Every structure is written in C-alpha cells, then in structure tokens.
C-alpha cells in the first residue's frame, strides 16, 4: 500500500476502535453525541471537506455530498452509531477502490518502465552519457549488457541477446548481430553492441508505445459514457426524491423523524459509487491485462468494439505468412538465370518490400547502385528502374499488362515476379513465403470463439493466395487487389457483416493503413518499429503471433462480461433497496450494504480484469 493508503487504513482502524468504545460507554444526551463525533471526524473529515469545497465550486451532486448529507442528517435524528458506521464503511470502500486502481496502474507502469533513462553516445571518439532526446538519427550509441536500448537502430558491431518481453509479452530472448535491427525499450542481455540510430527518441518505438498507453484512458467506451451520463442525471433525481420523501408524507401523518430517517437511508442507498468506479476500473484493468500479453489497446472504446467482432479479415504477407520470402525458381525466357536475377536485384535495390529483400538475398551481393539511374515503385504492382540505360520492369502480371508486355501463362504456387527489359519479356522469378506455425490453429480457435467469417485480402496472385488460404482454413479469399481495391472489398464486407457485430482487419501495418483505418477495429501485428501500424491501428500486437488475436478477443469479451455484471448487479440491488427503504422496510445497515457493500463487490469483480 502507498503512504496515503496506510494513513486511511490507520484512520479507519482508529475510528472503528473509538466507535466500539463509544458504544460501550454508559453516556446519554449531548455527551453521547460528543463521543460519537470523535470517531466520525477522525474517519470522515476529508469527505466533509471535499463536499463543502465542491459545493462552493458548484459541483453539488456527487458521492461526497450524499455521504455528508446522509451522515449529518443521521446525527440530527440521533442515529449516531449509524452515522459513524456509514462513513466508516464508505471510507473502507474508498480504500478498496484505491488499492484496486493502484494494482491496475502497476500493470500499466510495468510497461512504462521500458522508457530508457539515458543513452551512451560516441562523439569525437569519446563516450558521453546524455538524455535519449539529445541523440540524433545517424549517431552511434553504445549499449552494454543489462541496459535498455534507448533508440531504434541497427547493430554495427557486436553480438548479443535482447529481451523484448516488455514490448511483446514474450519471455524468449532473441539473438542479434551486426546488421540486425534493435528496438528501443528492449533490454540488452549479454554482449556490448554499437548501434547506429535510425530515429529520434520522439519517433522511436518506445515513445510511440508510451504515448499510446498514456492516451488510452481518454477514449471512453460507450458503457463508460452511459455511466457518466447516468450519474449526472441519476444523483440529482434521487436527492430530489429523498427531499420529497422527507417532506411530503409527514405533512399528512406528522411523523417527521421517521420520514427524515427513511430519506437519509434513501440517500445512502442511492450513491452511484459502484457504477462510477467499477465500470472504468474494469476497462482500465482489461487494457492493463492485455498490455502484459504484448497487446496494446488504444482505449476502452476499442476494447468494447473488439468484444463484438464476428468477422476477421486478414492481410496475407507478414500476417498469415512470415513475410520472409525465398527464391524457389528462376525461369529465364531470353537470358541466363544469373543475369535475370542480377537485373531484378538492381531494379529492386531501393525497395523496402519483403519480395525485394528476398531477391537481394538470392543475388548474394551488394548491388552497385551507381548503375541505377532512376527507380519508381508502383503500389500493388512492382518497380520500374533504369539500369545501365535499360528500362527494367519487375512486378506482377498487372504491371506487365500496363507496360504492354505479353506474359506466358503459369501456375506457380508462390508469388511470381515478372521481369521485362525495354518492354520485352525476359523471364520470371518465383518466390515462396512460409506460413506461420500458429496460423491454422489460430483460425480454428477464432471460429470456436464464434467468429462467423474469416477473409483474406491480398495483392498476390490468385494461385498464391488460394494456396495459403486453404491451408490455414480461411473462408473467403480475394486476390490480386491493389490498395484501393482492398478498401473497396472491405467496404462490401462491412455491409455484409452480421447485424450488431464488428469487423476487424488484421495486417502488418506497413502498407495497410487505409484498410486498418476503415475497419471497425484495425489490428496491426508484428508492429515493432512500424510507425504506420501504431498510428493507424486501434489494437497493436507487438509481435507477429496470430494467437495474440485470439487472446485479444478473449480479453475484450471477458472485460465486457465483467462490466455488464457490475452494471446489472449494482442497479438491481440498489433498485430493490431503494424501493424497500421508501416503505420503511430497511434500516441504515442494509443501506450501507447497498452502497459500500455493492461498491466493494463490484470493485473486487472489476479487479478480475487484471488477471486476464
């Protein structure tokens, strides 16, 4: 417990002891009032202070106001013990709330610890320890074993093992060497490495994640907004109702003390703490619980939307497949294998696409980029480059058709890159991508959870898309789609989805930003270092495991069940006790349970979201 929580606990215990002592003392009249006032002030002075301060600020109808009016009124009707016990139980409930929120924040705080405190930068041959914000892209930093990687970059020298658990939720470290990328927030475990930074600290992965988490609370779910509006109108209504209950009936029967007492019970019961506290706490706990699995949900509204997902649409490359291509065959039409591969490597030398990387790996040498005069990448088609004065087109069948190049029919199972030289067909390179190990099992689990439709949208050929889709169990496959056609296909799927359900699109986030944004819920996976993913998606999976999608939906649905349980339980109990109190069938102790007891039970239920 924090220092403040310990102080509240001491006050609660002290007030409880003083209340027992007051009950045992054989005193009456004003003296009895005085001995009960002592524990009341000990445990409730801050509630009275906040109530008075809020009244002066115009914030009248809140829980402090209700507690203050109810307990002070109990003193005026000589129900001293009840007044003290109501305040005592209320503060106990507030302590439970504080502890529960603290645990939720610890879950988020564990993620926030990924923020590095400093960076060791090499300048003028010397090591200088500076704030990460002071390191510019392109500078060399030194990261020793046990230190956090402060900025995104690529290893220049050294071999090591890095732990990305705080980012991805995965405990298994990975080995890195010269040329490999490293992500800010990961922990260097074994060796000393020199890293060339590629981004400033403000643009690095760790900053993006921290900003995302810090802002997640601002995006309220519909259930949270309902509770906020409900409390805004509910509290004044019950205060007015209690006032009528205290004034109107005694006009007819003259029993003012009895009806004022009932009105005070009515006020205690009516306090909406259980709803106002437990519903946001449930969402906060769900977001915190998801973060421990390496699943970053940008706000409660997206968690609520994710719980209703019945249609899941996947990108293929990097999502259902690993995105690590290997050249499986070269079919030259007018030149040798090596010459065709060399032309393709030079044409693709400036591209960042995974297909380009596979061709460069197969070429096995660093292309002499001075031979490349110009290069132009056409989204969804390929690359056109000028190499040694010749125009080289490397891309899919659509690119060849656009260039007026005749392409022979083929049924290769993988992705095909056609090559044309000066508008004459030169051959094709077949590239295959490995399906992720957990892809088929994840699709099966999604269907077992009630997802009614799984769809693949890919820019790849029909043969390649169908081969992957059938192996993993996808229901519908749309292939050979350009980026704008993917959005159009998604629009149709949104129109066809079951009523009251949502559609989630899952992609790698590099070239799927328009589709991620258009879906009801955009999910970017394997998003370490991908700015496009973190910006466009509503849910970010920090590694490339498809099973995390299953976990995310499970967490979202369980969180929503907890929220609904708390709403129904709190409203049902309060409704019954409010009615009974109006007819004088309940005492202050039942009222205390209907307020503080329900609040404590709702908070304890909300805390289950932390263990998802």
Catalytic residues: 315
Q: Find, among 517, 412, 497, 537, the residue nearest to 462 by Cα.
A: 412
Q: Find, among 44, 519, 554, the residue nearest to 290 by Cα.
A: 554
User: Are the beta carbons of 158 and 191 closer than 8 angstroms?
Assistant: yes
Name every residue whose Cβ is closer than 8 Å to that of residue 244 and which is 6 or more positions away in sequence: none
Q: Find, among 465, 560, 458, the residue nearest to 506 by Cα.
A: 458
User: Are the beta carbons of 292 and 587 closer than 8 angstroms?
Assistant: no
Residue 453 falls in which region: left (phi positive, over 0), alpha (psi -120 to 50) or beta = beta
User: Are the beta carbons of 179 and 154 closer than 8 angstroms?
Assistant: yes
Q: Find, among 553, 523, 494, the residue nearest to 318 by Cα.
A: 523
Residue 254 falls in which region: left (phi positive, over 0), alpha (psi -120 to 50) or beta = left
Sheet holding 295-297, edge to edge: 295-297, 539-541, 521-525, 502-507, 309-315, 453-457, 476-478
User: Are the beta carbons of 478 and 456 closer than 8 angstroms?
Assistant: yes
Alpha-carbon gap, residue 82 to 70, rounded angstroms: 10
Alpha-carbon gap, residue 165 to 187, rounded angstroms: 9
Write down the residue that tokens 């496959």 correspond to. 477
Task: Tell me the HSE value of 466 on the side-chain side, using a 13 A CA sphere.
Answer: 6
3-state SS, residue 437: coil
Name every residue whose Cβ is closer than 8 Å to that of residue 99 and which is 6 or more positions away in sequence: 1, 5
Alpha carbon 326 to its chain centroid, in Å, reads 34
């Amino acid at each position: 417990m924090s220092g403040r929580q310990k102080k509240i606990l001491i006050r609660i215990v002290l007030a409880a002891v003083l209340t027992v002592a007051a009950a045992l003392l054989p005193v009456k009249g004003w003296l009895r009032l005085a001995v009960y006032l002592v524990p009341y002030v000990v445990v409730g002075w801050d509630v009275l202070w906040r109530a008075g301060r809020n009244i002066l600020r115009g914030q009248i109808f809140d829980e402090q106001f209700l507690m203050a009016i109810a307990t002070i009124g109990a003193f005026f009707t000589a129900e001293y013990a009840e007044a003290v016990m109501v305040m005592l139980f209320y503060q106990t409930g507030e302590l439970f709330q504080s502890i529960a929120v603290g645990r939720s924040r610890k879950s988020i705080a564990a993620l926030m610890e990924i923020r590095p405190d400093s960076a060791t930068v090499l300048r003028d041959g010397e090591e200088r320890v500076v704030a990460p914000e002071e390191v510019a892209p392109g500078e060399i930093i030194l990261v020793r074993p046990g230190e956090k990687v402060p900025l995104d970059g690529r290893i220049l020298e050294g071999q090591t093992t890095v732990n990305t658990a705080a980012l991805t939720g995965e405990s298994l470290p990975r080995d890195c060497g010269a040329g490999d990328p490293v992500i800010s927030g990961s922990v260097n475990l074994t060796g000393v490495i020199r890293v060339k930074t590629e981004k400033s600290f403000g643009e690095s992965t760790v900053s993006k994640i921290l900003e995302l988490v810090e802002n997640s609370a601002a995006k309220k779910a519909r259930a949270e907004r309902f509770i906020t509006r409900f409390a805004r109108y509910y509290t004044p209504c019950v205060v007015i109702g209690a006032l009528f209950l205290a004034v109107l009936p005694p006009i007819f029967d003259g029993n003012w003390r009895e009806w004022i007492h009932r009105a005070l019970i009515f006020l205690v019961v009516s306090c909406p703490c259980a709803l106002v506290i437990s519903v946001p706490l449930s969402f906060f706990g769900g977001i915190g619980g998801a973060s421990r699995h390496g699943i970053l949900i940008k706000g409660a509204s997206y968690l609520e939307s994710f719980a209703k997902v019945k249609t899941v649409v996947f990108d293929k490359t990097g999502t259902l497949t690993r995105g690590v291509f290997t050249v499986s065959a070269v079919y030259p039409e007018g030149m040798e294998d090596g010459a065709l591969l060399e032309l393709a490597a030079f044409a693709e030398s400036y591209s960042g696409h995974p297909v380009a990387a596979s061709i460069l790996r197969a070429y096995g040498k660093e292309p002499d980029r001075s031979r490349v005069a110009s290069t132009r990448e056409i989204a969804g088609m390929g690359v056109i480059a000028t190499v040694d004065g010749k125009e080289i087109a490397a891309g899919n069948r659509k690119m060849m058709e656009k260039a007026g190049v005749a392409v022979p029919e083929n049924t290769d199972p993988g992705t095909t890159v056609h090559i044309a030289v000066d508008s004459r067909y030169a051959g094709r390179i077949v590239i295959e991508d490995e399906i992720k190990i957990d892809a088929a099992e994840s699709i099966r689990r999604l269907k077992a959870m009630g997802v009614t439709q799984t769809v693949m949208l890919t820019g790849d050929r029909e043969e390649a898309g169908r081969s992957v889709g059938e192996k993993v169990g996808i229901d519908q496959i749309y292939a050979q789609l350009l980026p704008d056609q993917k959005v159009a296909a998604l629009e149709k799927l949104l129109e066809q989805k079951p009523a009251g359900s949502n559609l989630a699109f899952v992609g790698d986030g590099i070239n799927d930003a328009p589709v991620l944004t258009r879906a009801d819920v955009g999910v970017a996976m394997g998003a370490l270092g991908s700015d496009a993913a973190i910006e466009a998606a509503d849910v970010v999976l920090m590694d490339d495991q498809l099973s995390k999608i299953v976990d995310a939906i499970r967490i979202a649905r369980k969180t929503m069940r907890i929220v609904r349980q708390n709403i129904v339980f709190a409203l049902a109990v309060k409704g019954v006790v409010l009615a009974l109190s109006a007819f004088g069938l309940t005492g202050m102790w039942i009222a205390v349970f209907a307020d503080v007891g329900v609040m404590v039970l709702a908070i304890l239920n909300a805390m289950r979201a932390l263990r998802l």
